[in-house]
Amino acid sequence: MKLAVIYHSETGNTKKAAEFVQAGMAKVEGVEAKAFPIDAVDEAFVAEAKGIIFGAPTYYAVISWQMLKFMQTAKLPFADKLAAAFSTANFEQGGSEIVLENLNDVLLAKGMLVFSGGTSHGMPMTHLGANAFVRDTTIEARQPVLEALGEKFAKKAMELF
């Protein structure tokens, strides 16, 4: 089963986070996981994918304008696929959870089946998705939660589709 990660990244933090999410997906047998920046999406792969996890950096406590523009303008068949969100920020209190909410809202509006794993799939918890902070800690320090989101998501996709 094909699963995709689509992310916006200017300075590499969200790209690194995307790679951990992708690695988590790939732990599940039968999954082919690929990650794409918003300016190089493999449209054929995404069209075939049963699920997509979206990631964005936090800009002034909301989703980056580049990711929002992509979400609002991309002409891709997102509807009815499983979806989830992750975000990066400098600081734990810097608004990354608002970015998860921004993404989850757009995914719902696009008719995607929004998933997080929340508190129901064990530790580490992924309440609204996964987030990582680069100044308070490092992206690597959040590898467990980023991978967990990818793995829980892939297991659910295999179960559903």
Ligand X SMILES: Cc1cc2nc3c(=O)[nH]c(=O)nc-3n(C[C@H](O)[C@H](O)[C@H](O)COP(=O)(O)O)c2cc1C
Residues that bind ligand X (CB under 6 A): 9-15, 57-61, 88-91, 94-95, 134
- How many Å apart are CA 27 and CA 50, to the nearest integer? 16
**Is the Cβ of residue 60 or residue 161 nearer to ligand X in the bound state?**
60
Which residues face 63 on adjacent strands?
Answer: 58
Least distance to ligand X, CB of residue 129, Å: 15
Residue nearest to ligand X (CB): 94
**Backbone dihedral angles phi then psi of residue 104, each to the nearest 5 degrees:** -60, -40
Least distance to ligand X, CB of residue 111, Å: 27
**Is the Cβ of residue 127 or residue 135 nearer to ligand X in the bound state?**
135
Tokens encoding 143: 């590898």
Least distance to ligand X, CB of residue 77, Å: 26
Closest CA to 98 of 132, 67, 126, 63: 63
